[in-house]
Chains A and B, each alone.
Chain A
């Protein structure tokens, strides 16, 4: 077909390589950059020593995509306004080089963004491309049990978050994780727990303490919550209760219940935090 050594093998698996890199990066442009780099490396390689070009190329693509995903993360954090994946035309190739059309929709790609690049790689190779665990383990250079764990964690994460609203047990876990991060004023953990469009509402019943305007957006809410961590939680004890059928926590200071906190989770993490500080409404929940 051609005289360029290795070109034929590369072309044969190119759609698959693009499918892996695109799912990991959410960017067709960055995926093309990865493929360009893979091609350069492949050209410099002694092709006769490679038993399976397809496996070699998938491995190189995944590893380079993991590196690219790590640096992309930092860029997305400083991106002004919401970051979305680059849309790809799938009218010709609905699965985009994969065995299955998994992990292509915006909702899933946005969830994948919240996983570590390694988790993302393991999930994509397994769920979209049906790679055996032993192969994935070679590609990401981890022992097989660790890979199984990565995939299962990613799967659990995604399946749980796909359902909206999240089951009550997970709501409770989310709230517990939120409280831990909030008390520590841990900005990064807070951000990871939040959906991009998270909203924090305070119902202060006109009390000065509460922010009257809802705080919207992942980093704004994380900043807001971590900003008052140093004084807000001092001397506070809490106990679990239920508000409107949802897990809630009553905060108590100096023998007085002063706030009830609930969170609700959806497809992309915690999407709503409610600080109920209104004394009238508080009485109803706190005495339960």
Chain B
């Protein structure tokens, strides 16, 4: 599913990381496609669960919440570059992205503690 040379895709992911680090929502929004969709896996937690998010504002907010105020690294996840967020040394979220035309079109955010367990062993 490499729609782009991985270099270009990785560059977008890098920019998204920097925008979140600076809590720079306007720049972040330019890196998201207008019809971007985010799915967040909270591990089946009823209170934390969300519907799919659509559009730069909601998806941008979710990215800022997940990646802001955390140590974020670019890491190979499922064969491609993704963002791994750590707080207090523990992995608290992993963001996988699909990029097209220089913008993220799909964002998958894993927050489920069970699915992050192996990252913290």
**From A214, which residue of chain B is reached at the shortest CB distance?**
B54
**From B2, which residue of chain A is reached at the shortest CB distance?**
A105
Expressed in whole angstroms, the Cα–Cα distance for A107 and B118 within the complex equals 21
Q: Which of the listed residues B41, B42, B48, B79 has the most CB atoms from chain A within 10 Å of its own CB?
A: B79
Contact A89 B77 (CB under 8 A): yes
Contact B79 A105 (CB under 8 A): yes
Contact A82 B76 (CB under 8 A): no
Contact B79 A104 (CB under 8 A): yes
CB of A94 closer than 8 Å to a CB of B: yes
Known: A81-B40, A81-B42. A109 touches B78 (CB 8 A): yes
Contact A94 B40 (CB under 8 A): no
Contact A84 B39 (CB under 8 A): yes
As a 0/1 sequence over residues 90 to 112 of chain B, the CB contacts with chain A under 8 angstroms (1 = contact) are: 00001010101000011011101
Contact B77 A90 (CB under 8 A): yes
Contact A107 B115 (CB under 8 A): no
**From A108, which residue of chain B is reached at the shortest CB distance?**
B1
CB neighbours of B40 from chain A (8 A): 81-82
Expressed in whole angstroms, the Cα–Cα distance for A89 and B39 within the complex equals 20
Known: A81-B50, A196-B39, A197-B37. A90 touches B44 (CB 8 A): no
Q: Shortest CB–CB separation between residue A82 and chain B, in angstroms?
A: 4
Q: Which of the listed residues A79, A82, A109 has the most CB atoms from chain B within 10 Å of its own CB?
A: A82
CB of B11 closer than 8 Å to a CB of A: no
As a 0/1 sequence over residues 30 to 43 of chain B, the CB contacts with chain A under 8 angstroms (1 = contact) are: 00000001011110
**From B47, which residue of chain A is reached at the shortest CB distance?**
A80
Contact A87 B94 (CB under 8 A): yes
Q: Shortest CB–CB separation between residue A133 and chain B, in angstroms?
A: 24
CB neighbours of A197 from chain B (8 A): 37, 39, 52, 54
Q: State which of A87, A91, A164 has its C-beta within 8 Å of the C-beta of B115.
A: A87
Contact A89 B75 (CB under 8 A): yes
CB of A184 closer than 8 Å to a CB of B: no
Contact B110 A94 (CB under 8 A): no
Expressed in whole angstroms, the Cα–Cα distance for A267 and B37 within the complex equals 12
Q: List 7 A-B contacts (CB under 8 A).
A: A81-B44, A81-B48, A87-B82, A89-B119, A94-B79, A96-B79, A104-B78
Residues of B at the A interface (CB closer than 8 Å) are 1, 37, 39-42, 44-46, 48-52, 54, 75-80, 82, 94, 96, 98, 100, 105-106, 108-110, 112, 114-119
Q: Given known contacts A164-B100, A216-B54, what 9 new A-B pairs fall within 8 Å (CB)?
A: A80-B45, A81-B50, A87-B96, A90-B76, A107-B106, A164-B105, A196-B39, A197-B37, A216-B52
